[in-house]
Structure 1
Amino acid sequence: MIPGANEYGVALEIDETAVERLLAVTPEDVAAPPELRFARNVFVPLTTACRYTCTYCTYFDPPGEASLLTLEEVREICRRGADAGCTEALFTFGDDPDDRYTEIHARLDEWGYDSIHDYLRAACEVALEEGLLPHANPGDQTREQMETVADVNASMGVMLETTAEVDAHAGPRQKEPGQRLRTIANAGELDIAFTTGILVGVGEDWRDRARSLLAIRELHERYDHVQEVIVQPVVENERWSDGSPDLETMRRVTAMARVALPDVISVQVPPNLAPARELIDCGVDDLGGVSPITDDHINPDYKWPALRELKEIADAADVPLRERLPVYERFLPDDLRTAAFDGVPADGADAGTADREWISPRIRDALEAEDASGERYRRVLRGAAPE
């Protein structure tokens, strides 16, 4: 039913009755959230080399033109972010470079790294040294690759995008839904708090959208590890001129996501790409990572809103705006949670998180560390309104 899933060892049976129920969902079937959250981050575009050539993506550069940040450049970005009050270093990535990227591989070898994941680990360690929590999104990953970097990440992520085979995933090496699902499952098996999402408007139909959301739900039900699901529209850019989904489409698919997913999973829309103000009443409770100092390197034509604009979105929805960390609080040990945190929703959906170690000793040490004011992460965990 899902292309390539069995090939990658992911057994998924999507209930067609559940698909039909989701197809009948409208925005009137959901309610606005009690609060709206966001994370303050810096984008660190570690490499623009990518084995894929998706027709909607401007992030990747062809062989011979791809960039690879030095660790000194990573440190400077992270230092600026820490000084600006950020808590997250988002490592954006082209999927593991293939053999065409000879210059990238030669540079890694010259610098003493066997693979891009070994180098990512070193970059995450730099972020931790500068007082930021890494959240890496390196695309498709084997279990071994993910294990290489898991303990130096507070959380990780990959966009599922869609379970359908679409023409937009063009080129000699196409994205395979089964491989994407395998990456999400790997995170669950390794007890990694995980972010994923769907991409709307790349050639999928409504049934595909429903199946994608239900596939995410089923993997979460197995592992209890999905913390948020992004509902992201494809946007016009220099490589994509086939249009973006209209507001009615975004409202309906966002409502479908809220109905499809357990309450414990946040539904996120990126406020620089989606009409967030018109989607909050469709169940959106998160605006994702927003950077006060760096561009959205994946969508550089679409600037991040300022903090005051996020507050305006929340005010228009009549809900409070709260800052969060890149790892959701329900994945933290009890002694790091705030007294005000209600970690177990009414349906008990995250009961499986209680007896598992979701953060490594390295990340725990970072969370317990203090900056000059003694406030860095405690300010966020206390739930204070952002300044």
Structure 2
Amino acid sequence: MTDIPGADEYGIDLTIDEAEVERLLDVGPADVEAASELSFARNVFLPLTTACRYTCTYCTYYDPPGQASLMSPEDIRESVRLGADAGCTEALFTFGDDPDDRYTQIHDQLDEWGHDSIHEYLREACEIALDEGLLPHANPGDQTYEEMAQVADVNASMGVMLETTAEVQAHGGPRAKNPGQRLNTIRNAGELGVPFTTGILVGIGEDWTDRAESLLAIRDLHERYGHVQEVIVQPVSNNERWTDGSPSIETQRRVVAMARAALPDEVSVQVPPNLAPARDLVDCGVDDLGGVSPVTDDYVNPDYEWPALRELEDIAEHAGVPLRERLPVYEHFLEDGRQWVSERVRAELDADSPAGERYRAVLEGESLAAD
């Protein structure tokens, strides 16, 4: 057991073997094998609201009260239709953690639209995406079990970045993120049987032991529930609020290798190609390049454009491996005997419709040839 801030508050009981921490601290790129293929998903990025209760010093996503936006149902429908027409399969819904009481305009607008909370509105947004031919992947920050249960059946997968199990100054302030609360969200997904994406953020004040412990905490929860589909290794990037730079290439290579060594084979290791030097990392165990969008910006990192498909193909060619498109829910969750996706999502995958045909083309490996 390790002392993770907030773990006791949320009843998080993790077993992190100190010998395993020491093992990971000795891992380098030469100790892991390169993946035999690279995958990616084609998505539409939908910033449901830019309101957030937290004020992390590296984040440009949140807007202060009075300036935060809230996507309307009409805007959501227009965006997902555009994405479906462009061949996307994923509607990535993201927003800052539950807007607190300072965001009166956001709460008033939700009330006007007939919703008590942003999570209740998220359900409507996911239903719009399904109706228009995209599979929702919601990343709404911390969620209670009840909040996640409210939207689990209209999502193909969900996610939240753990970031770190350490208490770091970058999370400081009166509304700091709580590692125990993040771990509780990952546990809630496991208890609800939701295919899940999480990850670590590198360079925000954590040390090497923190990185190893964060990866082992994720592994421990996955071993209990089998629900983690991918772990993102994301370097912090310079922006208008963060000017301390990104971790070095050598650091990123070592962390990616550490992630590959820490995690079971069925859990993918992802690096975001608009934020990380993917060509320099693919030999360290990376097997996924994340979700990229042909139609929308990366609203969390607006200074860093998504790469085009040709650039992803160049990364794969550099690595000497094939590039494969995937759905927002990894294929082995669809083949597992356990019911990982709801009947609603399964019906969309099997539907005799343009969307169903698009999903099956991805599963059958025909999507890239059609691009």
TM above 0.5, one fold?
Answer: yes
Name the SS of the counterpart of 2:315 in structure 1: helix
Q: Distance in 2 between matches of 1:174 and 1:373?
A: 41
The structure-2 alpha-carbon separation of the partners of 1:380 and 1:172, relative to structure 1 and needing over 3 Å to count, comes to same
Show CA shifts across 1:172-219 (max 9, x none): 111000000000000000000000000000000000000000000000
The one of 204, 207, 224 equivalent to 1:222 is: 224
Tell me the residue number matched to 2:132. Answer: 130
CA displacement at 1:357 relative to structure 2: 0.9
Show CA shifts across 1:245-264 (max 9, x none): 01000000000000000000
Alpha-carbon contact 1:36-1:314 (below 8 Å) kept: yes
Alpha-carbon contact 1:370-1:376 (below 8 Å) kept: no
Tell me the residue number matched to 1:286. Answer: 288
Matches within 5 A, 1:86-105: 86-105=88-107
Name the SS of the counterpart of 2:171 in structure 1: coil
Alpha-carbon contact 1:269-1:276 (below 8 Å) kept: yes
Tell me the TM-score normalised to structure 1 length. 0.94
Matches within 5 A, 1:90-169: 90-169=92-171
Tell me the residue number matched to 1:356. Answer: 338
Tell me the residue number matched to 2:67. Answer: 65
Name the SS of the counterpart of 1:44 in structure 2: strand
Where do 5+ consecutive residues of structure 1 fail to align?
Answer: 335-353
Name the SS of the counterpart of 2:229 in structure 1: strand
Q: What is the CA RMSD across the aligned residues, in angstroms?
A: 1.0
Name the SS of the counterpart of 1:156 in structure 2: strand
Q: Is 1:250 the equivalent of 2:252?
A: yes
Tell me the TM-score normalised to structure 2 length. 0.98
Alpha-carbon contact 1:200-1:231 (below 8 Å) kept: yes
Name the SS of the counterpart of 1:151 in structure 2: helix
Q: Distance in 1 between matches of 2:357 and 2:113?
A: 36
Tell me the residue number matched to 2:358. Answer: 376
Tell me the residue number matched to 1:186. Answer: 188
Moved over 2 A (4+): 370-375
Name the SS of the counterpart of 2:170 in structure 1: coil
Q: Distance in 2 between matches of 1:86 and 1:320?
A: 20
Tell me the residue number matched to 1:55. Answer: 57
Higher-helix-fraction structure: 2
The structure-2 alpha-carbon separation of the partners of 1:372 and 1:17, relative to structure 1 and needing over 3 Å to count, comes to closer
Where do 5+ consecutive residues of structure 2 fail to align?
Answer: none
Q: Distance in 2 between matches of 1:366 and 1:171?
A: 43
Tell me the residue number matched to 1:265. Answer: 267
Show CA shifts across 1:42-93 (max 9, x none): 0000000000000000000001100000000000000000000000000011
Alpha-carbon contact 1:321-1:385 (below 8 Å) kept: no
